[in-house]
């Protein structure tokens, strides 16, 4: 198959949701990089109406709703998950018919959760690239209707190339797909970051610590609360803000963990409209997830020149190590986390150097141009 100049590329991106979460923002940034950096024509298939549509239009992409469902769900019995596949068959046929009319050069599915775009691309005879953004089971607790191994084997068969967001995730996916088929491309991470840098508050021996993301056991907020409790016992007046919506009863568990702490030691707040402002108001950002495929918030903190403390697990580990942006700690070890925060609080010069190192690394490796170029390289290889 002959290659097509980037400016003539017609690309269909298939999103697993129309919300504005981390994976959706990464897709939005990819669309923006393809449209503005390469002049590509980008259509984005959404499974339902939602807030993602408006920024896609602003970025020059064309959203289109085709209702479809995932083969991975959280807290849904397997029979119920399997039942969702029946309406997916209708969605696949509809989407394939539209692809034949649209005649894109490639279809790319964003997230391992929804398979409709991949099957539709196969029916329509269009090359397919799968953007795998998550472990699924290890990070989000999803149950796959086909099981993890069979799901990844299907991903392999339905895709010319598979692009993951970290080396750690690539190793996991690579266990179940053809050799040499998996690539790594770091996200752009640009949304909301086009503002002047602000200095950290930097109050001596009273670091302001932030953990940002949905409150879920897999995100490990309880580590942060226990670490602050330890620091308070040592005479370090650290303050923690845990920002994010609560899922299930975990929010209540965190509230119980805060009982007995001094007023202002820990503040639990729901999701906020401006996450970057939260980062600017902290001295150090924590990522306490038990297994994160990437860790978008880590790069956001780096781009605001803030040091990070990250669990020694998953894809976020390589961000901290490669950048020199902050120390690691073993997941669940709140004593080690407290030690890391205390060291940064006692040595503001070292904390500042880590922030600067993370900023420089993220500025080189997480850009619109870089992510779009990596994606287009995978597209060329998928198309032969």
Domain total in the chain: 2
Question: In this predicted model, what pLDDT tens digit does every residue of 273-324 receive, in sequence order?
Answer: 999 999 999 999 999 999 999 999 999 999 999 999 999 999 999 999 999 9
Residue 2 reports pLDDT greater than 50: no
The CATH number covering residue 269 comes to 3.40.50.2000
3-state secondary structure 143-162: EECCCHHHHHHHHHHHCCEE
Residue 5 reports pLDDT greater than 60: no
Residue 3 reports pLDDT greater than 50: no
Query: How confident is the model at residue 79, as a pLDDT?
Result: 65
DSSP state of 281: T
Q: What percent of the chain has pLDDT over 90?
A: 85
How sure is the predictor about 138, in pLDDT bands with cuts at 50, 70 and 90?
confident
Mean pLDDT of 118-140: 94
Query: How confident is the model at residue 71, as a pLDDT?
Result: 83
Instruction: Tell whether 154 and 270 lie within a shared domain.
Output: no
Residue 76 reports pLDDT greater than 70: no
Residue 103 reports pLDDT greater than 80: yes
Give the three-class secondary structure for 124: helix
How sure is the predictor about 77, in pLDDT bands with cuts at 50, 70 and 90?
low
Cα 295 to its chain centre, rounded Å, is 6
Write out the residue range of the structural domain in which residue 288 sits.
208-364
Instruction: Tell whether 281 and 324 lie within a shared domain.
Output: yes
Residue 204 reports pLDDT greater than 90: no
Beta carbons of 29 and 190 less than 8 angstroms apart: yes
Compute the distance between CA of residue 301 and CA of residue 281 in angstroms, rounded to an integer: 11
Query: How confident is the model at residue 368, as a pLDDT?
Result: 97
Instruction: Tell whether 11 and 159 lie within a shared domain.
Output: yes
What stretches of the chain adopt beta strand conformation (E)? 10-15, 41-46, 62-65, 72-74, 106-110, 128-132, 142-144, 161-164, 182-184, 208-212, 239-243, 266-269, 284-287, 308-311, 328-329
**Residue 109 included in any domain:** yes
What is the model's pTM? 0.93
Compute the distance between CA of residue 299 and CA of residue 361 in angstroms, rounded to an integer: 9
User: Dihedral angle at the C-alpha atoms of 320, 322, 325, 327, nearest 10 degrees?
Assistant: 50
Instruction: Tell whether 82 and 174 lie within a shared domain.
Output: yes
**Residue 197 included in any domain:** no
Mean pLDDT of 328-332: 97
Mean pLDDT of 146-158: 93
Instruction: Tell whether 289 and 379 lie within a shared domain.
Output: no
How sure is the predictor about 139, in pLDDT bands with cuts at 50, 70 and 90?
confident
**Residue 203 included in any domain:** no
Compute the distance between CA of residue 14 and CA of residue 345 in angstroms, rounded to an integer: 44
Mean pLDDT of 64-71: 90
Instruction: Tell whether 333 and 373 lie within a shared domain.
Output: no
**Residue 193 included in any domain:** no
**Residue 304 included in any domain:** yes
**Residue 195 included in any domain:** no
**Residue 196 included in any domain:** no
User: Dihedral angle at the C-alpha atoms of 90, 91, 95, 97, nearest 10 degrees?
Assistant: 10
Query: How confident is the model at residue 82, as a pLDDT?
Result: 62
**Residue 279 included in any domain:** yes
Instruction: Tell whether 232 and 359 lie within a shared domain.
Output: yes
Instruction: Tell whether 22 and 130 lie within a shared domain.
Output: yes
Instruction: Tell whether 290 and 355 lie within a shared domain.
Output: yes
Dihedral angle sign, alpha carbons of residues 323, 326, 330, 331: negative
Q: What rounded mean pLDDT belongs to the chain? A: 93
Compute the distance between CA of residue 52 and CA of residue 82 in angstroms, rounded to an integer: 27
How sure is the predictor about 384, in pLDDT bands with cuts at 50, 70 and 90?
confident
Instruction: Tell whether 180 and 243 lie within a shared domain.
Output: no
Give the three-class secondary structure for 264: coil
Instruction: Tell whether 49 and 100 lie within a shared domain.
Output: yes
Compute the distance between CA of residue 315 and CA of residue 319 in angstroms, rounded to an integer: 7
Question: In this predicted model, what pLDDT tens digit does every residue of 11-60 receive, in sequence order?
Answer: 999 999 999 999 999 999 999 999 999 999 999 999 999 999 999 999 99
Instruction: Tell whether 271 and 184 lie within a shared domain.
Output: no
Query: How confident is the model at residue 1, as a pLDDT?
Result: 36
Compute the distance between CA of residue 337 and CA of residue 134 in angstroms, rounded to an integer: 25
């Amino acid at each position: 198959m002959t290659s097509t100049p980037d400016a003539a590329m017609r690309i269909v991106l298939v999103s697993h949701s129309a919300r504005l979460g981390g994976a959706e923002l990464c897709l939005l940034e990819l669309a923006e990089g393809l449209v503005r950096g390469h002049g590509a024509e980008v259509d984005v298939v959404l499974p339902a109406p939602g807030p993602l549509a408006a920024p896609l239009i602003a970025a020059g992409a064309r959203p289109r709703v085709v209702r479809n469902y995932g083969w991975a769900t959280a807290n849904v019995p397997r029979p119920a998950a399997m039942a969702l596949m029946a309406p997916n068959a209708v969605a696949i046929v509809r989407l394939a018919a539209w692809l034949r009319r649209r005649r894109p050069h490639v279809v790319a599915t964003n997230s391992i959760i929804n398979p409709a775009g991949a099957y539709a691309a196969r029916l329509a005879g269009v090359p397919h690239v799968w953007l795998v953004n998550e472990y699924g089971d290890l990070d989000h607790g999803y149950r796959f209707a086909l099981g993890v191994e069979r799901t990844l084997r299907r991903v392999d068969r339905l895709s010319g190339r598979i692009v993951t967001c970290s080396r750690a995730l690539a190793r996991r996916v690579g266990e179940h797909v053809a050799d040499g088929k998996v690539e790594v491309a770091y996200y752009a991470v640009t949304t909301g970051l086009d503002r002047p840098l602000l200095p950290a508050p930097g109050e001596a021996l009273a670091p302001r610590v932030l953990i940002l993301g949905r409150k879920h056991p897999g995100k490990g907020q309880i580590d942060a609360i226990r670490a602050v409790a330890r620091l308070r016992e040592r005479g370090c007046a650290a303050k923690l803000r845990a920002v994010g919506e609560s899922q299930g009863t975990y929010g209540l568990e965190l509230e119980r963990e805060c009982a007995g702490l001094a007023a202002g030691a820990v503040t639990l707040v729901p999701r906020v409209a401006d996450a970057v402002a939260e980062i600017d108001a902290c001295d150090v950002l924590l990522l306490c997830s038990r297994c994160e495929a990437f860790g978008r918030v880590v790069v956001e903190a780096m781009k605001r020149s803030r040091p990070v403390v990250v669990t020694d697990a998953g894809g976020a580990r390589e961000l901290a190590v490669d950048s020199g942006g902050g120390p690691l700690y073993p997941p669940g070890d709140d004593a080690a986390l407290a030690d890391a925060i205390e060291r940064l609080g006692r040595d503001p010069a070292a904390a500042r150097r880590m922030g600067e190192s993370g900023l420089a690394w993220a500025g080189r490796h997480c850009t619109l141009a870089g992510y779009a170029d990596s994606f287009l390289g995978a597209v060329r290889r998928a198309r032969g």
